[in-house]
A and B are shown apart, each in its own frame.
Chain A
Amino acid sequence: MLEAFRNNVMWIIFGSTFSVLFGLLIAVLADRSSFEKLAKSLIFLPMAISFVGASIIWNFIYEYRPEGQTQIGLLNSIVASFGGVPQAWPQWVAVAPWNNLFLIVIVVWLQAGFAMVLFSAALKGIPEELMEAGRMDGANEFQVFFGIMLPYIRGTVISVWTTIVIFTLKIFDVVWVMTGGQFGTHVIATQFYRQSFTNRNSGFGSAIAIVLLVAVIPVMIYNLKQFREQEAFS
């Protein structure tokens, strides 16, 4: 069980951080590129794919054949062509717990599009004069980004981040389909499923569910506070 908690912490930290970072990077780049619409559509596309579908897609990337045979998985093929040793990446127990990262990548792939759409909309809301003024004062693009854009969209960054945190907290399908929790990849939700429905140990399972609930309470309180502040409800 401790392993599941540790893995879930990894999911939350790496999953949310990389989704937000990639989402932000792509949103900023797309805004200045010559093919914004197409790029955004393609990055956003995985949002329509189920976790089960995504698991198949990534299983194919990670597909492993013993060394010396023709690799049909893209990652192992690249590794082999550079003279490396092919691996069954998510099952690579020797590097545990870091083999979890090969599963986390899948969620980053799915969620970066979500982050990008929200960031993109927020970035478009920044008044052009604000950034122009910064540039006039001699700020370079990086300074404009960190000094003006990022503080301006802070609220969006926080809400996207918390959304993905909650999302990764409950992650189930990817792990269940890819590894079934073997090879040291169990997370809270897979343990919950295993205890409640496979082991028929519903007391234990319910306890895990309560842990999940307790974990989201801070976000719930934050949401309620936001709601009260806006007070759109009269």
Chain B
Amino acid sequence: MSGQKRQKQFGKFLVNLTLLILVLLWTVPTVGIFVSSFRNRDKIDTSGWWMIFPHREWQPVRELDPKALGLDPNSVMTIEGVSGTFEEFRAGIETPDGKRLTWIGNKRIGKLEVQAQVWAVDWDFSLDNYRQVLGGQDFEFKRPDGSVEVVPGDNMVNAFLNSLAVAIPSTVIPILIAAFGAYAFAWMKFPGRRAMFILVVALLVVPLQIALVPILRDYKALNLNGTYLAIWLAHTGFGLALATYLLYNYISGLPRDILESAFIDGASHFTVFTTLVLPLSVPALASFAIFQFLWVWNDYLVALIFLGGNPEFELVTQRMAAIVGSRGQDWHLLTAGAFVSMLLPLIVFFSLQRFFVRGLLAGSVKG
């Protein structure tokens, strides 16, 4: 019996351990970017972000002057019990007592450093990167040799506001239309109702790529390209099939007798919709709203096509992609910028996870 119990405990331990490893694998990429966004530019560039954890590091203890010791860098030098060429000293030679000798500088005016290994953590955090990615000005950096390097920052604030201006209407408009549509499908009788709903179901999986070129042509004819209205309408269209389907599933499941008694009392469809159906459908509306908001906020392709020609209206995803393209090595901007772009989705996600999961379970998957 105790053997069985121990086996069970071991099984539980194994389950927890495997899950822990998987969770770490899934979390480490984000953590790396998050930690790096608070490290200064030089540090990001010269050491891995995991240096924030305690690690062994060589640090100088004292200096030796090779000239005073009469060492000739052009031949094999012997000092403190080790010998080697200039190149070997440049790379660092470990002495028998666990120290390290490293030649700093060039042959003529260099010096020898005696280094010891110590435990170190690299905890020099600041908000500088965020200031630079949001501030939109030039920033000065001191190089190790004392000269000053001017590095332009970026202006994500604008992109952030643009993204809001796109995401909020692109969430509200389809919900309004879809709620009306879903109500009609669920509670009204009209010819072609079934055929139209089948069309909605079919459209759920249609890739939006199919519509991009024709819509772009129409927009050109209507002179809508590169405007907010263009992208609101595009997102509305692309989100409508899913919104209608989801809301229909919910609204058609509302208790029949409540609505019927309202009709008997002489309420019109519009009154029933606004006073009964809308308040009762809040959970479904919220699920879809979160879904659509995240989708629009994170969208890149649709923005690229309908707003691509207008740098004034650049969204966060476009801005980030542009920084990757033009300044892909500027990790101090990329890390902080990535977090600026993720901030709102993560807040929405964590505060409303319940609704989000419910939406997923109801079939919130977009074509």
B300 at the interface (CB under 8 A from A): yes
Interface size class, chain A: 35 or more
Near A by CB (< 8 A), chain B positions 169-226 give 194, 197-198, 201-202, 204-210, 212-213
Instruction: Tell me if B54 counts as interface (CB < 8 A to partner A).
Output: no
A143 interfacial by beta-carbon distance below 8 Å: no
Does A89 reach chain B (CB closer than 8 Å)? no
Main secondary structure of the interface of A (DSSP, over half): helix
In the assembly, what is the distance between CA of A163 and CA of B44, in Å?
Answer: 38
Please provide the chain A residues from 157 to 215 with a CB less than 8 Å away from any CB of chain B in the complex. Answer: 163, 166-167, 169-170, 172-173, 176-177, 180, 189, 192-193, 196-197, 202, 205-206, 208-210, 212-213
Instruction: Say yes or no: A172 contacts B301, CB within 8 Å.
Output: yes
| Chain A residues within 8 Å of B365, by CB | 163, 167
**B201–A45 CB distance below 8 A:** no
Contact B294 A59, beta carbon cutoff 8 Å: no
A192 neighbours in B (Cβ, 8 Å): 209
Asked whether B19 is an interface residue with its Cβ less than 8 Å from the other chain, the reply is yes
CB under 8 Å from chain A, chain B span 18-73: 18-20, 22-23, 26-30, 32-33, 36, 44-50
Q: What's the Cα separation between A193 and B249 when bound, in Å? A: 35
Residue from A42, A49, A51, A233 in contact with B23 in the complex, judged by beta carbons closer than 8 Å:
A42
| Interface-side segment among B121-129, B138-146, B340-348 | B340-348
What is the CB-to-nearest-CB distance from B250 to chain A, in angstroms, rounded to a whole number?
12
Which of B227-235, B271-279, B328-336 contacts its partner? Answer: B328-336
Please measure, in the bound complex, the distance between the C-alpha atom of A26 and the C-alpha atom of B305, giving whole angstroms: 37
Question: Cα distance A112–B328 when bound, in Å?
Answer: 27
Task: Say whether, besides A50-B342, A220-B206, A177 and B321 are in contact (CB < 8 Å).
Answer: yes
Residue A144, interface by CB 8 Å? no
Total A-B residue contacts, Cβ distance less than 8 Å:
205
The distance from the CB of B361 to the nearest CB of chain A, in whole angstroms, is 6
Given contacts A42-B27, A43-B26, contact A48 B346 (CB under 8 A): yes
Nearest B-chain residue to A50, judged by Cβ: B298
Q: Does B280 contact A (CB under 8 A)?
A: no
Assuming the contacts A41-B353, A117-B361, asked whether A29 and B18 have C-beta atoms less than 8 A apart, the reply is yes
B19 touches A52 (CB 8 A): no
**B206 contacts A114, C-beta separation under 8 Å:** no
How many chain B residues touch A (Cβ–Cβ < 8 Å)?
74
Complex formed: what's the CA distance from A203 to B287 in Å? 38
B30 & A46 in contact (Cβ 8 Å cutoff): yes
Docked CA distance A61–B234 (Å): 34
Asked whether A72 and B47 contact (CB < 8 A) given A50-B298, A227-B201, the answer is yes
Q: A70-B48, A220-B206 are in contact. Are A57 and B29 (CB under 8 A)?
A: yes
Chain A residues near B299 (CB-CB < 8 A): 50
Kindly specify which of A5-13, A32-40, A146-154 makes contact with the partner chain: A32-40
- In the complex, B349 has a CB within 8 A of chain A: yes
Chain B CB within 8 A of A18 CB: no
Per-position contact with A for B299-337: 1 when CB-CB < 8 Å, else 0?
111001100100000000100110011001001001101
B297 within 8 A of A: yes
Measured CB to CB, the closest approach of chain A to B358, in angstroms, equals 10
Is A60 engaged at the interface, CB distance under 8 Å to the other chain?
yes
Q: How far is the CB of A17 from chain B (nearest CB, A)?
A: 17
Do residues A33 and B16 form an inter-chain contact, with CB atoms below 8 A?
yes
Question: Which residues of chain B are within 8 angstroms of A113 by Cβ–Cβ distance?
Answer: 26
A32 touches B15 (CB 8 A): yes
| Interface membership of A101, Cβ < 8 A | no
A52 touches B300 (CB 8 A): yes
Q: Are A216 and B207 in touch, CB under 8 angstroms?
A: yes
Q: What CA separation (Å) do A33 and B361 show in the bound complex?
A: 22
Q: Flag if B345 contacts A49 (CB, 8 Å).
A: yes
Chain A residues near B305 (CB, 8 Å)? 197
Chain A residues with Cβ below 8 Å from B346 are 45, 48-49
Cα–Cα, bound, A117→B331 (Å): 33
With contact pairs A60-B33, A114-B360 given, residues A213 and B345 touching in the complex (Cβ less than 8 Å):
no
In the docked arrangement, what's the CA distance between A186 and B31, Å?
A: 29
The yes or no answer to B338 lying at the interface (CB within 8 A) is yes
Q: Which 8 A-B pairs have the closest CB atoms?
A: A50-B298, A48-B349, A48-B345, A29-B19, A56-B338, A52-B317, A173-B300, A212-B207
Enumerate 30 A-B pairs (CB-CB under 8 Å) in ascending A order: A39-B20, A39-B23, A43-B23, A50-B297, A50-B341, A50-B345, A51-B298, A52-B321, A56-B334, A59-B324, A60-B29, A60-B334, A70-B46, A72-B45, A74-B48, A109-B26, A117-B357, A117-B361, A121-B361, A163-B365, A170-B209, A172-B301, A209-B207, A213-B210, A216-B206, A216-B207, A223-B201, A223-B204, A224-B201, A232-B252
